[in-house]
Amino acid sequence: MEEISVFGLTANITASRTFPNGFVVTEFADDGDPLDSADLEVADTAMGPNGDGLTWSRPMMVECAVNVIPQSQSDLNLQALVDANRVAKGKSSARDIIGIVWRYPNGMTVTLSSGKLVAGPVVPSGTAAGRMKSKRYAFRFEQVSRQTSSAEVA
């Protein structure tokens, strides 16, 4: 039987200027996926005018998003990251280079590096039910590596 729980998932996020020592994210939202990563398109295809099939590989950034509990320590740190990297008239950006190390309960580690924060909330939002909305922060990375544990392979 396969155990596929993500109970105990953690993320260690570093930002080159704002959080060089990093911070750990554990306070994941209950109404959004704790970690979401879209499928990566590794190739593209087309047809020439005479029906010839064409294919080519294309580089793509690896995107992942994290959803956290509003006002948690994780949210406050991620909000500080948004504030530091947001550009505006009369405001400079930290231009942080982001790294995230995901640790899964089965011992697998996924490391994302050479990344940027690309989206995050600036104004806290609420739902019609009277509750604060969970916060979603999205990142894109140049590199990803995966290390499996010996327990996972067995």
- Helix-then-strand count for the chain, H and E: 2, 9
pLDDT score, position 115: 98
Q: Given a cut of 70, is residue 77 above it in pLDDT? A: yes
Q: How many domains does the chain fold into? A: 1
Q: Given a cut of 60, is residue 151 above it in pLDDT? A: no
Tokens of 5: 């729980």
Q: Confirm whether 52 is domain-assigned.
A: no
pLDDT score, position 150: 62
Q: Confirm whether 69 is domain-assigned.
A: yes
Which residues neighbour 72 within 8 Å (Cβ) at sequence distance 6 or greater? Answer: 27
Q: Given a cut of 80, is residue 152 above it in pLDDT? A: no
Domain limits for position 84: 10-39+60-153
Q: What CATH number is attached to the domain comprising 17?
A: 2.30.110
Which residues neighbour 89 within 8 Å (Cβ) at sequence distance 6 or greater? Answer: none
Q: Using an 8 Å Cβ cutoff, are 103 and 122 in contact?
A: no
Q: Given a cut of 90, is residue 149 above it in pLDDT? A: no
Q: Confirm whether 48 is domain-assigned.
A: no
138: nearest Cα among 12, 37, 16, 22: 37
Q: How far apart are CA 26 and CA 103, in angstroms?
A: 11
* pLDDT, average across residues 116-127: 95
Strand order in the sheet with 62-68: 19-25, 10-15, 98-103, 109-119, 135-147, 62-68, 35-36
Q: Confirm whether 134 is domain-assigned.
A: yes
Q: How confident is the model at residue 1 (pLDDT cuts 50, 70, 90)?
A: confident
pLDDT score, position 23: 98
